Amino acid sequence: QVQLVESGGGSVQAGGSLRLSCTTSGYIGRGSFCMAWFRQSPGKERERVAAMAGFGAMFYADSVKGRFTISRDNAKNTLYLQMNSLKPEDTAMYFCAAAPSWNNCPGMEPKGYSSWGQGTQVTVSS
């Protein structure tokens, strides 16, 4: 497992932008890990919004396509989520997750990911 720490959440008005960061304590180098962002709002299940496989293949939930961008800096062991054109329905706790998986990502279910951060809150007001 790797240790994950998220940062960058906050409050923003609809249409605004935020960039989340996830710093890892361990090596997430090329090919070794799938890194993902999940979110969860009260009363709802945790959902995967974006994921990136070890060599760069990206996956997005339909609800965020064209607005969110996932990226990773393997040299800094850091994962990012750039969120643009934010909507009130994007309000949630956002979690970083990691799954040891060679150049692929598990499905969209949280159970496929073995390491989790503590979460960072994103609140979007209308």
Instruction: Retrieve residue 80's tokens.
Output: 């990012």
Contacts of 47 (CB under 8 A, 6+ apart): 38, 39, 40, 61, 108
CB 116 within 8 A of CB 25: no
Instruction: Retrieve residue 79's tokens.
Output: 């994962």
Largest alpha-carbon pair distance within the chain?
41
Contacts of 56 (CB under 8 A, 6+ apart): none
Give pLDDT tens digits for 50-91. 999 988 899 999 999 999 999 988 788 899 999 999 999 999
SS3 110: helix
Give pLDDT tens digits for 6-39. 999 999 999 999 999 999 987 776 678 899 999 9
Look up residue 51 and give its amino acid: A
Task: Single out the residue of 124, 100, 122 nearest to residue 38, CA to CA.
Answer: 122
